[in-house]
Amino acid sequence: MTAAGTELTLRHPIERFTLENGLRVVLAPDRSVPVVAVSVYYDVGMRNEPEGRTGFAHLFEHLMFQGSANVAKMEHARLVQAAGGTFNGSTHQDYTNYFQALPAEALERALFLEADRMAAPAITEENLRNQIDVVKEEIRVNVLNRPYGAFPWLQLPEIAFDSFANTHDGYGSFVDLESSTVDDATDFFSRYYAPGNAVLCIGGDLDVGETEKLVRRWFGPVPARDVPPLPPTGEPSPTTVRSAVVEDPLAPAPALALGWRVPDPVGDFDTYLGSVLLAEVLSEGDASRLERRLVHGDRIAIAQSSYVGMFGDPCDVRDATLFTTQVHHPAGVPAERVTAAVHEEIARIAADGVDAEELRRVQARTEAQLLQQADSILGRTLSFAAAELIHGRAELAGELAARLAAVTPEAVQVAARGLDPGTVAMLELRPAGGAR
Answering whether pTM is above 0.85, one says yes
User: Which pLDDT belongs to residue 178?
Assistant: 96
Residue 436 has a pLDDT of: 42
Q: Give the domains, in start order, of the chain with CATH numbers.
A: 3-219 (3.30.830.10), 242-431 (3.30.830.10)
Q: What is the mean pLDDT of residues 258-279?
A: 97
User: What average pLDDT does this structure show over 273-288?
Assistant: 95
Q: What is the pLDDT of residue 1?
A: 44
With a cut of 70, say whether residue 38 has pLDDT above it.
yes
Q: At what angle do helices 395-405 and 377-391 cross, to 10 degrees?
A: 90
pLDDT at residue 2 above 70? no
pLDDT at 4 exceeding the cut of 80: no
Backbone angles phi and psi of 203, in degrees to 5: -125, 160
Answer yes or no: are the C-beta atoms of 201 and 14 closer than 8 Å: no
- Residue 318, SS3? coil
Q: What is the arithmetic mean of pLDDT over 419-434?
A: 92
For residue 3, pLDDT over 50 is answered with: no
Q: Is the pLDDT of residue 339 over 60?
A: yes
- Condensed to tens digits (0 to 9), the pLDDT of residues 60-100 reads 999 999 999 999 999 999 999 999 999 999 999 999 999 99
Residue 7 in this model has a pLDDT that exceeds 90: no
What does the angle CA 50 – CA 54 – CA 60 come to, to the nearest 5 degrees?
Answer: 90
In whole angstroms, give the CA distance from residue 145 to residue 174: 15
Are 278 and 342 within 8 A, CB to CB? Answer: no
Residue 433's pLDDT band, with cuts at 50, 70 and 90, is low
Does residue 435 surpass a pLDDT of 80? no
Confidence of residue 398 (pLDDT cuts 50, 70, 90): very high
Determine the 3-state secondary structure of 103 from DSSP.
strand
CA-based nearest residue to 309, from 342, 262, 266 = 262
Give the type of residue at 9.
T
Percent of the chain surpassing pLDDT 90: 91
The counts of H helices and E strands in the chain are 17, 11
Q: 313: closest CA among 268, 217, 379? A: 379
